[in-house]
Amino acid sequence: MTKSLTIKQPDDWHLHLRDGDMLAAVLPDTAQHFGRAIIMPNLVPPVVSTADVLAYQKRIMAALPKGMNFTPLMTAYLTEATDAEDLAKGFQDGVITAVKLYPAGATTNSASGVRDVMAVQPVLEKMAEIGMPLLVHGEVTDSDIDIFDREAVFIDRVLDPLRQRLPQLKIVMEHITTSVAADYVQSGSENLGATITTHHLMINRNHILAGGIRPHYYCLPVAKREEHRLALRALATSGFSRVFLGTDSAPHPDRAKLMACGCAGIYTAPNTMSCLAHVFEEDGALDHLEAFTSINGPKFYGLPISDQTITLTKQDLPMAYPEMITAGDETVTVFDPGVDLFWRVDTLV
C-alpha cells in the first residue's frame, strides 16, 4: 500500500481570497500548500481594470506571512464597460493572467457581470488576438431554467456559439459540475480547458438536501446528481491533460451562510490536498494526482511547472484539522468531506 507520495507543488486554478481580515485569514491556508493560484476578482466592488488588479495584487502580497512563497495570478472581472486596451496592456505587462466572465446574477457578487455576451465581443476578439484566456462561470441565469440545468443550457446557448464565433479564444470552463460539461471539454480543441473543484468530486445534491438542509455544502454551480459526480471523478482521475484543479475555495462568514437566504461558497483551502489524495486513492489513480493538481494547469496556461515538491503521507489515524477558522470577528467553516482523511501534506521542499 502506498504510504507516501511526492509530487510537484500544486497550484489552484480558481480561488477566492476576498479582502481585509478575510484575506489575511485565508491566504496562509492556500499558501502553505499551493505555489500559485488564479485569484477571482468578484470583490465588492469588482476588480475590473488593470489598476484595480495591481492594487488587489499588492494587498494580497502585503497579507502574505513572511517566509511563505506564493504567487497570485490575477484576473480582471469582465463587464459590458470593460476597456479592451486596458486589459490587453495589463496582460502584456504580466499583471493580468486572465479575464473572468460572470453572467450577471449567476453567483456571489456577480451583479456587474455580463448580460449579453455579444456586448463584450470586441473585448473577446482582442483577447483571442493576444492569447489572453477567458475564464467562464458557465451558468445561464434565466429564472425559467431549472438551477440544476443551468450549466448544460449555458454550454448550448452561450459557450458553444461563442467558441464557433471565436475559435482561437482560449477558454477555461470553471468549476464544471455535470457529465455534459465533462464530455464537452473532452470533445473540445486544445484551447478549451476546465477546472474541477474538490467538493464536486466528493458531494452530490443529496449531501445538501437529504435529511436536513446543509448550508455549508451549498455552492454555485450547485452540486448535481451522483451520476454527474461520478463523471467528474472519472475525468479528474483519468489524468486528461486539459482538466485541472480549481478549488473554488470560497470563504463566507458562517453568519452569512447560516441564514434564511444563505450565500453560496465552500471553504476547502485547508484540507483540499488531503481530500484529493483520498479521492484519487479511492479510485486507484494516485499516479494521476500530480497531473490534476500540478502539471495540467501550468501546461494549459503556458506557465512553468513548479520546481518545488510536496510530500503527502498516509497516516494510520485520521488526520486532525480545524472545523473552522476565524477571520476578524467571524468564523468560517472548513469543508467537511464526510469521511475521515488520512493523507497529510508533510513537507514543502
Q: Is 195 in the site for ligand NCD (CB under 6 A)?
A: no
Q: Is 47 in the site for ligand NCD (CB under 6 A)?
A: no
Grid cell of 290 as nine digits = 500530480
| Mask for 153-192, x = binds ligand NCD (CB under 6 A) | ----------------------------------------
Q: Closest residue (Cβ) to Zn ion?
A: 248
CB-nearer residue toward ligand NCD: 26 or 166: 26
141 binds, among ligand NCD, Zn ion, none (CB under 5 to 8 A by kind): none
Q: What is each CA distance from 293 to 137, 179, 317, 326, in whole angstroms?
A: 20, 20, 25, 27
Picking from 330, 337, 265, the residue whose alpha carbon sits closest to that of residue 24 is 330
- Residues whose CB is less than 8 angstroms from the CB of residue 349 and which lie 6 or more positions away in sequence, other chains included: 308, 309, 310, 311
Q: Which of 201, 220, 289, 310 binds ligand NCD (CB under 6 A)?
A: 220
CB of 200 to Zn ion, least distance (A): 12
Q: Which of 53, 219, 289, 295 binds ligand NCD (CB under 6 A)?
A: 219
CB-nearer residue toward ligand NCD: 13 or 342: 13
Q: Is 248 in the site for ligand NCD (CB under 6 A)?
A: yes
CB-nearer residue toward ligand NCD: 209 or 305: 209
How many C-beta atoms lie closer than 10 Å to residue 253's C-beta?
18
Query: 305-335 b/e with 16+ CB inside 10 Å = b?
Result: bbeeebebbbeeeebeeeeebebeebebbbb
CB-nearer residue toward ligand NCD: 106 or 312: 106
Assess whether 160 carries a catalytic annotation. Answer: no
CB of 221 to Zn ion, least distance (A): 10
CB of 106 to Zn ion, least distance (A): 10
Annotated catalytic residue: which of 93, 149, 248, 287? 248
Q: Is 243 in the site for ligand NCD (CB under 6 A)?
A: no
Cα 125 to Cα 95: distance, rounded to the nearest angstrom: 20
Q: Which of 16, 33, 170, 314 binds ligand NCD (CB under 6 A)?
A: 16
Q: Quick check: 298 and 306 in contact, CB under 8 A?
A: yes
Q: Is 265 in the site for ligand NCD (CB under 6 A)?
A: yes
φ and ψ of 314, to 5 deg: -90, 120
Grid cell of 67 as nine digits = 517566509
- Residues whose CB is less than 8 angstroms from the CB of residue 314 and which lie 6 or more positions away in sequence, other chains included: 1, 2, 3, 4, 277, 281, 342, 343
CB-nearer residue toward Zn ion: 29 or 248: 248
CB-nearer residue toward Zn ion: 248 or 290: 248
CB of 104 to Zn ion, least distance (A): 16
Note the Cα 193 to chain centre separation in Å.
13
- Residues whose CB is less than 8 angstroms from the CB of residue 234 and which lie 6 or more positions away in sequence, other chains included: 182, 283
Picking from 348, 343, 268, 271, the residue whose alpha carbon sits closest to that of residue 308 is 348
Cα 23 to Cα 319: distance, rounded to the nearest angstrom: 25
CB-nearer residue toward ligand NCD: 24 or 135: 135
Residues binding Zn ion (CB under 5 A): 248
CB of 164 to ligand NCD, least distance (A): 25
CB of 339 to ligand NCD, least distance (A): 22
Site size toward ligand NCD (CB under 6 A) is 11
Q: What is each CA distance from 250 to 80, 112, 264, 270, 271, in whole angstroms?
A: 25, 19, 8, 12, 13
Residue with cell 512553468: 304
Catalytic residue list:
248
Q: What are the residues binding ligand NCD (CB under 6 A)? A: 16, 42, 107-108, 137, 219-220, 248, 250, 264-265
